[in-house]
């Protein structure tokens, strides 16, 4: 391809992204959106699609400057997709942990707590800095933080592959796989203000640090205490990851500890092996473990979570098996299935994992032409997957949510290995068909996986999970509800406990903060509500009942009236025990008289 033609295509791609962003910006969300995909104008998606088509082609076919421009185009497009809540002026995104993180950030801004008092203060501190320096709302500062922490993932995945393999095709494929955003599974990792998920996108930075340490062997410009610049980089990036969320620091420690163990075994067994020339990771394992231990054991939240994990391991009704069974039963009642959901949410990850698995097996069998140095680096990462998978099963038995967070961590390593694995696959396929044919097949495969990955970055009805878009009206309604509610009258939701909104609006450090276990908040019993016994639907006492547009979308449209029916809600509107006291386009609150005590 002529350089002028290529430059024209890339310029067209960047123009398409710019037009898509401007169109999305000109169409802000004015009401609750169950899906950011359908809420965003079609012209925006056309622009993004054109840009990604150019980017995928350039990443696969071009090298050097041209490939770098293609990767930059793809990364810009995916960043724009992740930034859609900011671009389209969402007030906030996240109705669970996100609202609690919003509350903690409010506490920091208000001076009610110091950042270091939080177990993972990085996201909140970044948002507070945006608020102080830029004067923007705290909610928007948190959405900016999500984007800032996402970008390193797109940058460092291809850099790691460049450091390990140095092959242009592998770098391009690794970049494309990173655009699929495989660590987000919408089971326990989410694209939004969710510190555990945000931390996943910093893991490649830490991995790059120790790969650079192993490969470059800096022996000059030593720092005090015998540290090399790359050793210091490992500690600093590890500390940064710890401050965003400590769970993935555990994964990094297991990863580096596995590398240290492999190095130890190699030194015991071989007299001549590339691993013997690598600087050891023993000290890094010990130091990072010590940093994590000191930080974690001094925090009550960590101790409670660890105790919950141990209890869950020995409880029969807690764990992944029980939760999957419950989800499968509910899906079947609304015409769905676990198999269908798996295809929608995990097919691209399964394809990538299969490709990586076959490649690693061939490496172990000696059926690849990799140089010994590259093979050593791949063995480090691939062998570490065994203890990391073991950690997943431990979580799965004890705390399913943590298990699927661990899947996100494993997906980061699979993303890195996929670049090298698929590049070797293209080389093998080129021997069967032509090189252009192999590139075309690869482009189609990666393009299909890219579409699947990007269509599930955000929650939406397609995965039976409506988007957690929080509107101005919803915040306004809850603010009024919380102001006018008393401790004697619980605030009750429809399948969604409203206590998180108290966190988001008022912070967590103030007096009288609502919590999940509080008697002043909860959800109505769906069976009693459906039976029309509204006065007994919440413990038979007086309560304030909240209905939002999100609740109605989830229960009536997505769950297809599985728990609550449209008919019962209409009957509730006219029931003598219910009185509407707050109402706007997105929010309604009723006071409900409880059953009279006998």
Q: Which residue in 324, 368, 358 sits closest to 165, CA to CA?
A: 368
Q: CA-CA distances (angstroms) from residue 572 to 379, 469, 566, 591?
A: 62, 26, 10, 11
Structure tokens at 274: 């590339």
Q: Which residue in 10, 126, 140, 14 sits closest to 80, CA to CA?
A: 14
**Rounded Cα gap, residues 350 and 185, in angstroms:** 12
Contacts of 350 (CB under 8 A, 6+ apart): 342
Q: Which residue in 54, 71, 75 sits closest to 63, CA to CA?
A: 71
Give residue for tokens 């995909």. Answer: 37
Residue 226 region, left (φ>0) first, then alpha (ψ -120 to 50), else beta? left
**Rounded Cα gap, residues 416 and 561, in angstroms:** 42
> DSSP characters for 276-305?
GGSPP-HHHHHHHHHHHHHHHHT-HHHHHH
Confirm if 133 and 178 have CB atoms less than 8 A apart.
Answer: no
For residue 462, the Cα-to-chain-centroid distance in whole angstroms is: 18
Give residue for tokens 């979308």. Answer: 553
Structure tokens at 96: 């669970």
Whether this model's pTM surpasses 0.85: yes
* Tens of each residue's pLDDT in the chain, 598 residues: 678 888 899 999 999 999 999 999 999 999 999 999 999 999 999 999 999 999 999 999 999 999 999 999 999 999 999 999 999 999 999 998 999 999 999 999 999 999 988 889 999 999 999 999 999 999 999 999 999 999 999 999 999 999 998 889 999 999 999 999 999 999 999 999 999 999 999 999 999 999 999 886 655 556 666 577 888 899 999 999 999 999 899 999 999 999 999 999 999 998 888 899 898 999 999 999 999 988 887 766 666 666 655 555 555 444 445 455 556 666 667 777 788 888 899 999 999 999 999 999 999 998 888 899 999 999 999 999 999 999 999 888 877 788 899 999 999 999 999 999 999 999 888 888 888 889 899 999 999 999 999 999 999 999 999 999 999 999 999 999 998 877 788 999 998 899 999 999 999 876 566 766 667 889 999 999 999 999 999 989 999 999 999 999 999 999 999 899 999 999 999 998 999 999 999 999 999 998 864 3
**Rounded Cα gap, residues 273 and 266, in angstroms:** 8
What residues does each domain of the chain span? 1-90, 91-463, 471-592
C-alpha distance across the termini of the chain, in Å:
86
């Amino acid at each position: 391809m002529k350089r002028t033609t290529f430059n024209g295509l890339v310029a067209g791609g960047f123009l398409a992204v710019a037009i898509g962003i401007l169109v999305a910006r000109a169409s802000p969300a004015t009401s609750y959106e169950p899906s950011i995909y359908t809420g965003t104008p079609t012209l925006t998606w056309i622009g993004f699609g054109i840009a990604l088509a150019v980017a995928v082609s350039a990443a696969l076919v071009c090298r050097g400057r041209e490939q770098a421009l293609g990767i930059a185009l793809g990364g810009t497009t995916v960043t724009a997709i992740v930034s859609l809540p900011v671009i389209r002026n969402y007030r906030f995104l996240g109705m669970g942990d996100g609202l609690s993180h919003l509350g903690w950030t409010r506490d920091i801004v208000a001076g009610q707590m110091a950042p270091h008092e939080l177990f993972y203060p990085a996201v909140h501190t970044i948002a507070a800095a945006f608020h102080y320096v830029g004067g923007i709302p705290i909610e928007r500062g948190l959405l900016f933080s999500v984007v800032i922490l996402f970008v390193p993932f797109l940058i460092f995945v291809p850099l790691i592959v460049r450091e390990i393999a140095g092959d242009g095709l592998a770098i391009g494929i690794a970049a494309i796989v990173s655009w699929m955003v495989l660590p987000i599974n919408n089971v326990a990792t989410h694209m939004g203000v969710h510190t555990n998920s945000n931390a996943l996108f910093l893991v490649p930075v830490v991995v790059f640090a120790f790969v650079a340490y192993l490969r470059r062997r800096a022996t000059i410009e030593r720092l005090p205490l015998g540290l090399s610049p790359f050793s210091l980089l490992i500690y600093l990036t590890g500390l940064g990851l710890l401050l965003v969320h400590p769970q993935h620091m555990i994964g990094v420690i297991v990863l580096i500890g596995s590398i240290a163990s492999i190095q130890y075994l190699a030194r015991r067994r071989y007299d001549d092996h590339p691993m013997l020339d690598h600087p050891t990771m023993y000290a890094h394992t010990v130091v990072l473990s010590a940093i994590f231990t000191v930080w974690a054991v001094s925090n009550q939240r960590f101790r409670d979570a660890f105790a919950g994990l141990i209890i869950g391991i020995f409880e029969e009704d807690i764990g992944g098996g029980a939760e999957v069974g419950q989800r499968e039963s509910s899906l079947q009642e609304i015409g769905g299935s676990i198999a269908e959901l798996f295809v929608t949410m995990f097919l691209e990850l399964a394809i990538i994992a299969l490709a990586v698995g076959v490649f690693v097996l061939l490496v172990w069998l000696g059926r690849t032409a990799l140089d010994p140095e590259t093979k050593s680096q791949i063995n480090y990462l691939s062998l570490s997957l065994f203890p990391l998978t073991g950690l997943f099963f431990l979580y799965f038995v004890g705390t399913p949510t943590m298990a699927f967070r661990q899947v996100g961590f494993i997906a980061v390593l699979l993303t890195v290995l996929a670049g090298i694995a698929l590049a070797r696959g293209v080389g093998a396929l080129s021997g069967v068909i032509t090189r252009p044919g192999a590139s075309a097949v690869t482009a189609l495969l990666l393009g299909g996986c890219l579409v699947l990955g990007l269509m599930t970055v955000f929650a939406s009805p397609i995965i039976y999970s409506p988007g957690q878009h929080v509107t101005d009206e919803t915040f306004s309604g809850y603010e009024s509800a919380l102001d006018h509610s008393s401790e004697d009258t619980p605030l009750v939701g429809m399948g969604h406990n409203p206590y998180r909104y108290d966190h988001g609006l008022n912070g967590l450090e103030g007096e009288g903060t609502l919590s999940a276990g509080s008697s002043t908040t909860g959800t109505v019993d769906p069976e009693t509500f459906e039976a029309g016994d509204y006065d007994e639907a919440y413990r038979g006492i007086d309560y304030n009942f909240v209905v939002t547009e999100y609740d109605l979308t989830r229960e009536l449209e997505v769950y297809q009236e599985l728990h609550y029916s449209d008919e019962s809600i209409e009957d509730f509107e006219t029931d003598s025990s219910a009185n509407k006291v707050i109402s706007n386009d997105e929010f309604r609150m009723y006071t409900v008289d409880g059953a009279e005590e006998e």
